[in-house]
């Protein structure tokens, strides 16, 4: 057994336990608490298994799963940045790159490079797999907001135009799921879960 290699792998596994303490703005559907980024990542992985058939271009399921499992790990150092927070998004890329170097750097070099590359691929949103992964990552909080009567949208004064604008790229990964999201947004406005109107 290569003890040093195994010890580096275990150190990484213990470190990423911290993702369970990174809270997102969304709430659970049936529980009043905020969602954390680790359970969100599991939920996205499950969503991949169930919704893969809706990808506009057929995707490599394993590649999508790996990206979504890894995509939020940088938040351990960089925090979760609310997608509608323009100021918070300044400098986000640099903060997250440093986080990726430190956290993936705990692993043996070959694995560190592999996971770092998966995260970079997800962020670049160029491959069919990354586009589909991004579409799922956009759909999920919209579902959570809609099924909690817009709790997080209303708390932050988000408008339908902001949701459409911020999430439109989901259509690149899945036209079907984007059409479904547009229906949800329209109904959310009708129900009063989301304010109609332009971006602020």
* Contacts to a copy of itself by CB under 8 A: 1, 6, 9-10, 12-14, 16-21, 28-31, 35-36, 38-39, 41-43, 45-47, 49-51, 54, 61-62, 65-66, 69-70, 107, 111, 115, 143-144, 147, 176, 179-180
Of 102 and 200, the one with the shorter C-beta distance to a copy of itself is: 102
Query: By C-beta, is 71 or 159 nearer to a copy of itself?
Result: 71
What CA–CA distance (Å, rounded) separates 74 from 71? 7
User: CB atoms < 10 A from the CB of 181, how many?
Assistant: 23
Cα separation, 159 vs 137, in Å, equals 19
Helix (H, G, I), strand (E, B) or coil at 36: strand
Nearer to a copy of itself, 16 or 163 (CB): 16
Whole-angstrom Cα distance, residue 149 to residue 127?
34
Q: How far is the CB of 67 from a copy of itself (least distance, A)?
A: 11
Nearer to a copy of itself, 43 or 125 (CB): 43
Q: Which two tokens stand for residue 26?
A: 């969304």
Reduced to 3 states (helix: H, G, I; strand: E, B; else coil), residue 54 is helix
Closest CA to 57 of 124, 130, 111: 130
Q: Closest distance between a copy of itself and the C-beta of residue 74, in Å?
A: 14
Tell me the C-alpha distance between 42 and 93, whole Å.
23
- In angstroms, give the least distance from the CB of 18 to a copy of itself: 6
CB of 107 to a copy of itself, least distance (A): 7
Residue 143 vs 161, nearer CB to a copy of itself: 143
Nearest distance in Å: CB 154, a copy of itself = 20
The DSSP 8-state label assigned to residue 21 in this structure reads G
CB count, 10 Å around CB of 16?
Answer: 18
């Amino acid at each position: 057994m290569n003890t040093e290699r195994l010890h580096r792998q275990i150190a990484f596994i213990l470190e990423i336990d911290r993702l369970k303490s990174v809270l997102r703005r969304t709430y659970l559907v049936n529980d009043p608490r905020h969602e954390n980024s680790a359970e969100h990542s599991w939920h996205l992985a499950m969503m991949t298994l169930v919704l893969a058939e809706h990808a506009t271009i057929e995707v490599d399921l394993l590649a999508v799963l790996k990206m979504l499992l890894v995509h939020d790990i940088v938040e351990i150092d960089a925090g979760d940045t609310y997608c509608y927070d323009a100021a918070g998004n300044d400098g986000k890329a640099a903060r997250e790159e440093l986080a990726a170097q430190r956290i993936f750097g705990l692993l043996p070099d070959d694995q560190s490079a592999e996971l770092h590359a998966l995260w970079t691929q997800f962020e670049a949103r160029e491959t069919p797999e990354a586009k589909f992964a991004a579409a799922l990552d956009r759909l999920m909080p919209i579902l959570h907001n809609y099924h909690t009567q817009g709790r997080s949208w209303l708390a932050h004064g988000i408008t339908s135009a902001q949701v459409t604008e911020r999430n439109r790229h989901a259509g690149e990964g899945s036209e079907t799921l984007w059409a479904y999201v547009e229906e949800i947004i329209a109904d959310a406005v009708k129900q009063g879960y989301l304010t109609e109107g332009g971006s602020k």
